[in-house]
């Protein structure tokens, strides 16, 4: 599979900031780690680091992200939002909605957002978003948004096949990774500005129809290692997951991992 055509991307990208400064590599340990180092210098908002392969791509809670050379899209984006740190979860959820819409526009198949940061097609995971921040005085100085997508993968490792897939496997369509990246950066820039002005409530209607867990029973391991069970209601203004427990009470999970989903 041929490498990304960076000249095509730069020629056709119409953003103001996102991707205007773009660093491209055949191989990196992690695009987010590399961008975090760049952020300590003069790298500005909208800087993008992209690689054909990651040898140590990261998911949430220290999990690795499968990043073979060729078929996927692995990039990280630098933001300087000056927002309260508590807004980070909401920002990730908003950008997940934005990414889902951009992907959907290319593949013409529904893309769902699974709290807190996964992208699903046909009930199978095809991508994820990891947002890592540096903060000072309760405000986010830098946020590195890492996005990994299984695009034209013809297979996934057997140990991941129960949950993971690719856009090609789920839609039967080969995607232009260049056009997908252009669409993602364009939509992400527009929606990042909307989030900065209006917060997560501006995305409520858009997320509602593609919120993968809504109305389902879920078991969630929260950040304090407490297990919460209930029916997913939705999310609050900060991006926390809201559950209705068996006693009818509304319970909020600010961070954590969905351990299982019951029919």
Query: Which residues is 47 bridged to in the sheet?
Result: none
Classify domain 217-262 by CATH number. Answer: 2.30.30.100
Please check whether the domain covering 6-208 is classified as CATH 3.40.50.720.
no
To the nearest whole number, what is the mean pLDDT of the chain?
91
pTM above 0.85, yes or no: yes
| Residue labelled with tokens 């951009």 | 102
What is the number of other CB atoms lying within 10 angstroms of the CB of residue 29? 15
d(CA 130, CA 132): 7
Q: What is the pLDDT of residues 191-234, one digit of tens each?
A: 999 999 999 999 999 998 899 888 889 888 876 667 888 999 99
Local confidence band at 65 (pLDDT 50, 70, 90 cut-offs): low
Q: Comparing 6-208 with 217-262, is the CATH topology the same?
A: no
The tokens of 7 are what? 């000249």
For the chain, the domains span: 6-208, 217-262
Q: What is the pLDDT of residues 90-122, one digit of tens each?
A: 999 999 999 999 999 999 999 999 998 899 999
Query: Are the C-beta atoms of 5 and 31 separated by less than 8 Å?
Result: no
The tokens of 107 are what? 């593949």
């Amino acid at each position: 599979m041929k490498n990304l055509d960076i000249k095509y991307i730069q020629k056709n990208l119409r953003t103001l900031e996102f991707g205007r400064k773009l660093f491209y590599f055949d191989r990196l340990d992690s695009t987010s780690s590399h961008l975090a180092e760049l952020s300590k210098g003069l790298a500005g908002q909208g800087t993008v680091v992209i690689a054909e392969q990651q040898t140590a791509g990261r998911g949430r809670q220290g999990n690795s992200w499968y990043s073979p050379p060729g078929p996927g899209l692995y990039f990280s984006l630098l933001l300087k939002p000056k927002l309260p740190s508590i807004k980070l979860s909401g920002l990730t959820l908003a950008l997940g909605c934005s990414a889902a819409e951009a992907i959907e526009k290319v593949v013409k198949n529904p893309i769902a957002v699974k709290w807190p940061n996964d992208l699903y097609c046909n009930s199978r995971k095809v991508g994820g978003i990891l947002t890592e921040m540096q903060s000072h005085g309760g405000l986010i100085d830098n946020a590195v948004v890492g996005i990994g997508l299984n695009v034209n993968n013809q297979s996934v490792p057997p140990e991941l096949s129960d949950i993971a897939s690719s856009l090609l496997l789920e839609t039967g369509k080969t995607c232009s990774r260049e056009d997908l990246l252009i669409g993602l950066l364009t939509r992400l820039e527009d929606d990042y500005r909307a989030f900065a002005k209006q917060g997560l409530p501006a995305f409520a209607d858009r997320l509602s129809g593609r919120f993968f867990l809504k109305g389902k029973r879920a078991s969630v391991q929260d950040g304090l290692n407490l297990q919460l069970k209930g029916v997913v209601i939705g999310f609050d203004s900060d991006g926390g997951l809201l559950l209705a427990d068996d006693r009818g009470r509304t319970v909020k999970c600010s961070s954590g991992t969905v351990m299982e989903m019951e029919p």
